[in-house]
Structure 1
Amino acid sequence: MAAKDDWTEEERQAMKDRAKEFRDARKKAAQDPLGDLMSKINEMPEHDKRIALRIHELVLATVPELQPKTWYGMPAWATPGKDGKIICFYQSAAKFKVRFSTFGFSEHANLDSGLMWPTAFALLDLTPEIEANIVSMVKQAAS
């Protein structure tokens, strides 16, 4: 690691500017979580974007009080309030360069069923049956 004296004034200023940009972006995301979520969805490849948009519609139609936000740079939906807890999330296949997207639930989701239950699902595409399953799980998870 370079000592402070190894950086030019221009390099130090560039690092300060980048840190300010990062803080400003985080502040903007906190003020407009839906805009942040939609921005992340719009960055996705077309196939992932179509799935993410449909899941967004399904989640909010099922439990309108859930709040859209991003979680690790991916779309997520949380309980209302200042300390909103993530209930469910979507990970695009492209994000981790894998062959399937993931629709999953956090530890705050009410999905408990015995001693073992699924918390994430591989997702290649959406069908009416899969959408119905998502709706059912989101209802239960948010209950």
Structure 2
Amino acid sequence: MAGKTTETDGFTAQERAAMKERAAELRAEGRKGAKKADGLQDLLEKIAAMAPADRALAERVHVTVSATAPELSPKTWYGMPAYANDEGKVVLFFQDSGKFNYRYSTLGFQDAAHLDDGDMWAASFALLRWSPAVEEKVVELVRAAVS
């Protein structure tokens, strides 16, 4: 795990910040009624605050997910851009490399995604750069996740 942990709770500063962001998101959802437009605005603000390389990837992920699965609602989840189904469950999320000081960004899928494949399957994918092949794979994964 990247980052320095404290002796008292075992969480890094980045992990504690993500938990605080999630608590704030839950409070905001309760106040706003979790409107899709509010979630989109929050997601776009998170993307805009990313480092340039991460922002470029997040923008491409956002465009691709929005075009491939318009039924998913954009939102933030632990301070990360995410997309939820009509039950409000996160299907997939984008974690920029700066979030926890990792060397790469990731596209992750939660249990609401329909990616099950036998007894073991990938639920997270490293993203280093965008290409037509990467876009094709992301489209394929998103389509499977919402099927």
TM-score, reference length from structure 2: 0.76
C-alpha distance 125-117 of structure 1, shift in aligned 2 (>3 A): same
Q: What are the ranges of 5 or more consecutive residues in structure 2 without an aligned counterpart?
A: 1-23
TM-score normalised by length of structure 1 = 0.78
CA deviation profile, 1:40-94 (whole Å, cap 9, x unmatched): 11110011011101100000100111110001000000112xx411111000001
Structure of greater relative contact order (alpha carbons < 8 Å, 6+ residues apart): 2
1:73-84 counterparts in 2 under 5 A? 73-80=79-86, 83-84=87-88
Q: 3-state SS of the aligned residue for 2:64?
A: helix
Query: In terms of Rg, which structure is larger?
Result: 1
Aligned residue number for residue 3 of structure 1: none
- 1:90 aligned residue (70, 91, 94): 94
The equivalent residue for 2:145 is 141
From 31, 42, 46, the counterpart of 2:48 = 42
**CA contact 1:41–1:52 (8 Å) conserved in 2:** yes
Structure 1 residue 117 corresponds to structure 2 residue 124 = no
In 2: Cα distance, 1:110 partner to 1:30 partner: 24
| Structure 1 unaligned spans of 5+ | 1-21
Q: Which amino acid aligns with 2:139?
A: V
Structure 1 moving runs of 4+ over 4 Å? none
Count of residue pairs brought into register by the alignment = 119
State the Cα distance separating 1:30 from its structure 2 match: 3.6
- Equivalents in 1 of 2:98, 2:90: separation in Å? 22
SS at match of 1:93: coil
